[in-house]
Structure 1
Amino acid sequence: MRATHYAILKLNYRLPTNLSIDFPFGWRGTLIIEFGLRNFFSFKEGAVLSFRFDGNTPENISRGQPYATVMGINGANAAGKTQLLKGLNFVNFFAARSFAWKPNALLPLEPFGNGKDASEFYIEFIAGDLIYRYEFEVTEHEVVREALFRTKSKKTLLFERKKNTVVKSVKELEAISSLTLRSNVSLIATVNQYQLPLLEDVFDVLNQIQTNVAYSGLHDPLMDINATAKLLNEAPYALAFVENFIRNCDTGVSKIVIKHREGGNNEKIFFPVFLHQIDNEDYAVSALGESSGTKRLFQTLPDYALALMTGGVLVVDELDIHLHPHILPNLLALFTDPAMNPRHAQLIFTSHNVKIMDALGKYRSCVVAKKDNESFVFRLDEVPGDMLRNDRSIANVYDDGKIGGVPRL
């Protein structure tokens, strides 16, 4: 997540410290309906990640909503789980950040088998009361095609670009035809760079995808503990959110205090002190003496806070690093409990913890598997028959190898 996003936390927005949220202004969140890609890393023929619920989804899962706010992805090592998340990161980069790319620099993607065919992506999402579908085809050298559709009463093509030419556009976007397009930059990022308000809602939505995955894989954590302490020192509501969550996880921490010392060039270096109560007295523990799990929560929970605040999308590879399995349901509840997630923020994550499938159910769990070095993904409610039922453990069926996605040792 980038500094411009973190700056939002420094404003005094009230966060869900005790199952209540007060949002004093009108951020409109992001809600992904479906995401797909083809010819990208280990995915040759394509992958679709759908958040749609159907009529068979139990009420305790859907909570009356048509789309999932959490999607868990399991699978064996090297199956392609991280590659799938890289696809979401690439959509975010291309749509919102590619204008910062150097002219004529190669786009950061890798087609299946190092082939020369274009990689294809699409993402359907809700912005306000409108549904959009954004799709594009790119090679590492150029944009082959880019298009945006909008649906209200009917589906409308807003623009279509081929190479560096806008070949179609609706009247409200006719100004984009005069823009100079670069071969490695999206039209959406270009419009934003020129500060044209034409596609502002679309840009904002795609820019709100936070992830700890980059082209090279997992980048976790994105902020070191001192940078996190500095951020939370300037964001008291976020600090209260982090402290409350850690305290409720039975870590022994009763309070977190942010302190600082003087560094070079008169720069303040911030750091956390974790207070533990022993015989009704506070015992201070530095980050060096604190557990790995507590430190991980301290460094990553601001990402969760920001997603909940803005109604954004948080994409987390290896959700369970350093965390006890019993803590994971608490993280999921931030997004599945409507009281804590009134803006319908979404969490998309990978994990090797199979029990988490039972917590999510088959409508919010996907498996990535690989055959002949080609990855594919399926949601568990797509498994035919009654092998997976709402009243049975999914983890046991998965561990038995009956639905794939487990290592063959």
Structure 2
Amino acid sequence: MLRNIYSFGEQKEFNMIPAPRYTRLKGHKYQINGFEALKLASFYGANGAGKSNLIRSLDFLQDIVVKGDIPSPMKLKRMKHFHSSEEPMVLGVEFINNDIPYIYAVEIGNLSVLKEELYTSGLGKREDTLVYERTTAKEGKTVLRLSEKFQNSVEGRVLKGILENNLIKQNKTCLKILSELDNPLLQDTTNAYQWFEQKLKIITPKVRSGGLAQRLDTDAEFHRYAEQIVCSFSVGIKKLQTVTKSIEEFFGDDNKADMETLLNRLSKSPGMVLSLINSEGEELTVVEESGKVVVKQLKTEHTTKEGDSVMFDLSEESDGSRRLMDYLPALKDLITKDVTYFIDEIERSIHPLLIKEIIGKFSADDNTKGQLIFTTHESNLLDQEILRQDEIWFVEKDLTESSDIYSLCDFKEHNTKDIRKGYLSGRYGSIPFLANLKDLNWNAYDFRK
């Protein structure tokens, strides 16, 4: 659920609840304590319709929850929908972690968090149960409402006063603060925060897979899986290798300042794995192992026509090959873990047949555990053998230039319908409006003058 952020004006909602009348691809439904959820969702729309803004909005929500801070008033003003710049921004998400369903929502004004709440969800079958509700009064004072059991205890009343008067600030979200308190009555805040921090994964076109070299080097099972997948892509890569050097050897005498900066960061957070991008766009991993700080770099192995092995830097691989490797942790996690991945422009730099094969394989695997939600322009994925109709969504600008979200289920198509053909012909909207381009007289412009 989102309102008044980026290109979204009025409140819009998207869900992963299966349509009751749709019975095909039953392996796409997860059963969680009697509740059903879909494992896939796709978003289609013209350039500028708002697909990426949907992902950006969720990325923003995750950021302010995990870090606990909201941006400056100037940045918030730029983020708000241009029709309602003075109205509050509202974001909310319903999710399940460790078999417990939650509803988290936040309302943000120009200077503060106006309202923030966490409930255990009744999933429409029973009433939602309060975990906490926080509001900010006009004078900036925090008012906190917690469960009745918490507030009736002596410790709870004392802790509530400390939270309201000292710990919770108007320009900060408070889920992180509450999750760090050692109180059994606040266990739900810890569980909910863990979902935002560990189980919600967002990949944008510019994001690289963090710590890939480290995971390949330390997780033998993942290394075998990744190598098998990459070789099956037929991009010429035969093996994946991690080259490890001491930090002193890697940086040498000419970059001691950069080295000292990294060493200082690691000393403040022991056990931390640092990822950085070098000038060639390659990811490097810096980590402490056996008392030494090392730098790990991913290399790829190819074979010449004579049968000799030759090592490539990642920067020497094509954009498509690099993008595929960025997806390796996601592909493995989606099969084996209870995680939710949002990927913006999933087909970027990847051949249409290859991305269809990847999504098709995930679609056909009945043993997956994660959820995959992605935006795309790739019409080849509009195949009812890969996606259910309730897994296909569209984003389109309305007459007020606000983004709208709607499902293919709204059109009640038969399961034998050619969805791709219908989409490209404009049956469902969400395609570019080409009238102006068709009327454009190219010959009227002489660019040589």
Shorter-chain TM band: 0.7 to 0.9
* 2:173 counterpart of 1:186: yes
Q: Contact 1:263–1:269 at 8 Å: present in 2 too?
A: no
1:379 aligns with 2:407: yes
Match among 178, 185, 196 for residue 206 of structure 1: 196
1:403 paired to 2:380:
no
Between the two proteins, the alignment pairs up a number of residues equal to: 361
Q: Contact between 1:95 and 1:206, CA under 8 Å: does it hold in 2?
A: yes
The equivalent of 2:288 in structure 1 is none
Q: 1:257 aligns with which of 241, 263, 276?
A: 241
Cα distance, 1:335–1:144 mapped onto 2, change above 3 Å: farther
1:78-89 alignment, distance < 5 Å: 78-89=48-59
Across the aligned residues of Structure 1 and Structure 2, the Cα RMSD in angstroms comes to 2.8
Q: Which has the higher contact order (CA 8 A, sep 6+)?
A: 1
Structure 1 residues 63 and 302, CA gap change in structure 2 (3 angstroms): closer
1:159-217: CA deviations, max 9, x gaps?
2211153443213544462312111222212213446562111111122211134xxxx
CA displacement 1:310-366 (0-9 Å, x = unmatched): 42111111111111112223432564355552xx31111111111212232321111
**Equivalent AA in structure 2 for residue 168 of structure 1:** R
What's the counterpart of residue 41 of structure 1? 6
**1:118 and 2:88 matched:** yes
What residue number does 1:274 align with?
301
Distance in 1 (CA, whole Å) between partners of 2:182 and 2:74 is 23
SS at match of 1:315: strand
The secondary structure found in structure 1 opposite 2:228 is helix
Give the aligned partner of residue 97 of structure 2.
127
TM-score of the two chains, using structure 1 as the length reference: 0.79
Aligned in 2, Cα 1:352/1:106: closer, same or farther, shift over 3 Å?
closer
Structure 2: give runs of 5+ residues left out of the alignment: 31-35, 253-292, 435-449
Mapped partners of 1:260, 1:130: distance in 2? 42
1:133: Cα distance to partner? 1.3
Distance in 2 between residues matched to 1:43 and 1:354, nearest whole Å: 24
1:157 aligns with 2:182: no
In the superposition, relative to structure 1, how do residues 338 and 97 fare at CA in structure 2: closer, same or farther (>3 Å)?
Answer: farther
Whole-angstrom distance in 1 between the partners of 2:221 and 2:406: 39
The amino acid that maps onto 1:407 is: P
Report if the CA contact (8 A) 1:110-1:140 is conserved: no
Return the alpha-carbon distance in structure 2 between the equivalents of residues 55 and 102 of structure 1.
41
CA contact (8 A) 2:29 2:37 kept: no
CA gap of 1:239–1:58, structure 2 versus 1, over 3 A, is same
CA distance in 1, matches of 2:364, 2:193: 28
Deviation of 1:116 after TM superposition, in Å, equals 1.0
The aligned counterpart of 1:22 is none
Residues 232-257 of structure 1 show CA distances to partners (whole Å, capped at 9, x for unaligned) of 22333332222121122232333222
1:297 aligns with 2:280: no
Deviation at 1:285?
4.1
Q: Which residue of 1 aligns with 2:396?
A: 369
Rounded Cα–Cα distance in structure 2 between residues aligned with 1:408 and 1:283:
48
Match of 2:439 in 1: none
Which of the residues 112, 117, 122 maps onto 1:147? 117
Distance, in Å, in 2 between the alignment partners of 1:310 and 1:109 is 36
Instruction: Give the structure 2 partner of residue 51 of structure 1.
Output: 16
Structure 2 Cα separation of the partners of residues 331 and 195 of structure 1? 43
Within 2, Cα distance between the matches of 1:108 and 1:221? 29
* DSSP-derived class of the 2:193 partner: helix
2: CA distance between counterparts of 1:87 and 1:102? 13
CA positional deviation for 1:274: 2.5
**Corresponding letter in the other structure for 1:382:** D
Q: Which structure 1 segments of 5+ residues have no match? A: 1-35
Identical-residue share of aligned pairs (%): 20
**Structure having the higher Rg:** 2
C-alpha spacing 1:172/1:87, structure 2 compared with 1 (3 Å): farther
Mean Cα deviation higher: 249-258 or 392-401 = 249-258
Residue of structure 2 equivalent to 1:317: 344
> SS of 1:144's equivalent?
strand
Higher mean C-alpha deviation, range 133-142 or range 78-87: 133-142
Task: Tell me if the contact between 2:77 and 2:85 (Cα under 8 Å) persists in the aligned partners.
Answer: no
Deviation, structure 1 residue 104:
8.6
TM-superposed CA distance for 1:304, in Å, is 3.6
CA contact (8 A) 2:240 2:298 kept: no
Amino acid at match of 2:3: R
User: Which one has a larger percent helix, Structure 1 or Structure 2?
Assistant: 2
